[in-house]
Structure 1
């Protein structure tokens, strides 16, 4: 009865009578009602529509205050007022009292406010084997997401309009990327169930290399494989190399205040992350994270990348306090430590405005007036490339200053772009500054670059002795090549979908590339020189 809820009452009353009477428009507007309330719109009562407007506002437009209801999706404790999530209590963290303490206690005023800062040290006791998992390019399409701000639905094929993640089918090319084997629009037909009603490409073409039950369930399969292995190895934390949500990160414009959480961010995190990566040995484990190019927007720069940073203070396991930051880890009972440096390499996809429209953060698909200056990001498409190049130089200067200060036994860098980018610089970091391991993603497969296997003349893979791996096979997007192990002609590495398991000790790091079915694909051992 609060006067401020008048718009809510009007909307609910209209929906329960006149709104659902227009069947054509009602299906378009209330089509997701059953997934939110458990009741489809033709059978909905006024109470059901009230729950819909509280828990999953049609079109993402929140008109109702905090709900006196039980939301099925998302849970009632995080329903929405004014388009933002009701802030949950901050996870209890040592040293935080009444908002005081370190950076873990409250978000910065802008998304870049904590860049280059260290998250509080973590410590893991015991004499057991110590494990770290690594994964990237894992966050699929949120098919039950309701688009806002003029955006299109993330459901791009029949069968994709559902709760939880759906895989994004991208082009498949040959290994040298010189021949297009399967165009995205052709590949879509492999995922459509039932077949998509288009005038062309009525069937899945053999050249796509589609493996049913794998390509269309990749994120879930990798997550289940992680869950099964975590139950045995109990990783202490996860290294997340980015591309956390396809196609373009959080589907909202940048600029949400850092102490707020948008409906879109909460929904995507709930559907694609929180509801997927769980189980004994995996639940509650910290995810040390960076942004990928798709988290910035993929082909624009103004999506809700800042909301991924904000989520750090809404979560008890998601850690992304800035685009570049550091983490110190102690293993006191085994007498060693690790310094982990998380950096943002997405300048690699920042090009001139007219270049590569489908894969250019600064390209022509950016909307007119795109501006992330309020969040600390680029102010326009015209200044976007120079902003990212300057930001990358800032990352580099920071890392070159931090590495020599490290007293840890191991130094690890985590970033999004795959092994081979900025090759000479990483070679210098290894040979001059003591970098031990480079953890990457971006290419959608699994590749373990063991310097002991370097062939004479293979200059493209020469990192000067630095161990590197690509773990871009998290399954949010289709793999570079077919996952069919009988057809490895166009494989870059040892697998297409999977993650890595690192066993770390004072003297060595044992690396294992794990397939989506739990198979160990490749191993290597890193020791101090």
Structure 2
């Protein structure tokens, strides 16, 4: 396991774009295993991600898991890399870096092949099951992003059981090693904005609901170390949940509408009362993704739908 992969990037897209760090996040975008290999939602999201990148000169994209429905890929030569990724996200503007984590459907297949594909594609950056990123903010400051594998931490789910919880890690040592690594990354970060990105949500009101394993072990770390926000997918909609504990606030953003849209609110009563700030699941609007912009003074997160309509914007401030 790589102890820490640190990637320092400056925006070099022209003077008009040097005032902020800009990037996109999308989850659950993984197409179909049979012809036509993509969904109308995935096609619309890809087009709008490209248009937003053209307009705002975003630097990179975070892919939050379930990169290939329904059973991942078999090997590094699997045709799904072309059918679901290269042929859909083919726009020139989306040739910028992609940073990925694996989801439950990816773990049904060969995640090591997805990692190996990093050697086949200049834009596909998946160096290990979990890793850390660090980006400089134009004008001063740093954003750290801790990319985690929630399936290795918590175990996989049964796709045939609605709302199934992870069944526990298949390898306890691998899980414990990652927990220790996460604690070290969060404890040592001095970043102005500290994000954690994984597939399973901590909190969600939708089909799968909160993830018990992450509630038990990740959530206390988020508050202890002053994490700015946790980004996830898994549930196929857009959500913002803002929760305070012991005077500290963490924002939870679910961005899982890259391929399907599911309007379930089955777990609305399973998150702390009053913490849900936004929920969206309109299938006719063709999915959605997140646009994030960071300056030395604040970070804004905007949900955008598959018709490029800004849906909701929220502002976060530097860690104290």
CA distance in 2, matches of 1:405, 1:359: 39
Deviations 1:15-41 (A, max 9, x none): xxxxxxxxxxxxxxxxxxxxxxxxxxx
The answer for the alignment partner of 1:219 in structure 2 is 42
Alignment of 1:432 onto 2:235? no
Taking structure 2 as the reference length, the TM-score comes to: 0.80
Could you tell me which of 253, 266, 290 is aligned with 1:469? 253
The answer for the alignment partner of 2:297 in structure 1 is 507
The answer for the alignment partner of 1:415 in structure 2 is 198
Contact in 2 for aligned 1:424/1:463 (Cα 8 Å):
no
TM alignment of 1:220-259, pairs within 5 A: 220-250=43-73, 252=74
Contact in 2 for aligned 1:329/1:337 (Cα 8 Å):
yes
Deviations 1:121-168 (A, max 9, x none): 333355333311000100111xxxxxxxxxxxx33xxxxx34xx333x
Structure 1 residue runs of 4+, over 6 Å off? none
Query: What is the SS of the residue equivalent to 2:48?
Result: helix
CA distance in 1, matches of 2:255, 2:58: 17
Contact in 1 for aligned 2:202/2:219 (Cα 8 Å):
no
Query: What is the SS of the residue equivalent to 2:312?
Result: strand
Alignment of 1:448 onto 2:250? no
Cα distance change on mapping 1:345 and 1:359 into 2, 3 Å: farther
The answer for the alignment partner of 1:334 in structure 2 is 139
CA distance in 1, matches of 2:6, 2:20: 24
The answer for the alignment partner of 1:10 in structure 2 is none
Cα distance change on mapping 1:359 and 1:306 into 2, 3 Å: farther
| C-alpha RMSD of matched pairs (Å) | 2.6
**What's the offset of the Cα at 1:506?**
1.4
Cα distance change on mapping 1:400 and 1:339 into 2, 3 Å: same
CA distance in 2, matches of 1:335, 1:398: 27
CA distance in 2, matches of 1:521, 1:307: 35
The answer for the alignment partner of 1:494 in structure 2 is 280
Return the index of the structure with the highest Cα Rg: 1
**What's the offset of the Cα at 1:404?**
2.0
CA distance in 2, matches of 1:464, 1:393: 26
CA distance in 1, matches of 2:84, 2:215: 33
TM alignment of 1:105-504, pairs within 5 A: 114-125=1-12, 127-141=18-32, 154-155=33-34, 161-162=35-36, 165-167=37-39, 217-250=40-73, 252=74, 261-262=76-77, 264=78, 267-280=79-92, 282-297=93-108, 303-331=109-137, 333-346=138-151, 347-350=153-156, 356=158, 358=160, 385-420=168-203, 421=211, 422-451=214-243, 465-475=249-259, 478-481=260-263, 493-496=279-282, 497-504=287-294
Long gaps (5+) in structure 2: 204-210, 265-277
Query: What is the SS of the residue equivalent to 1:465?
Result: strand
Count of aligned positions: 284
**What's the offset of the Cα at 1:241?**
0.5
The answer for the alignment partner of 2:273 in structure 1 is none
Contact in 2 for aligned 1:341/1:399 (Cα 8 Å):
yes
Which structure: greater strand fraction? 2
The answer for the alignment partner of 1:83 in structure 2 is none
Contact in 1 for aligned 2:107/2:156 (Cα 8 Å):
no
Long gaps (5+) in structure 1: 1-113, 142-153, 156-160, 168-216, 298-302, 361-383, 483-491
**What's the offset of the Cα at 1:389?**
4.4
Taking structure 1 as the reference length, the TM-score comes to: 0.50
- Higher normalized contact order (CA 8 Å, seq sep 6+, divided by chain length): 2
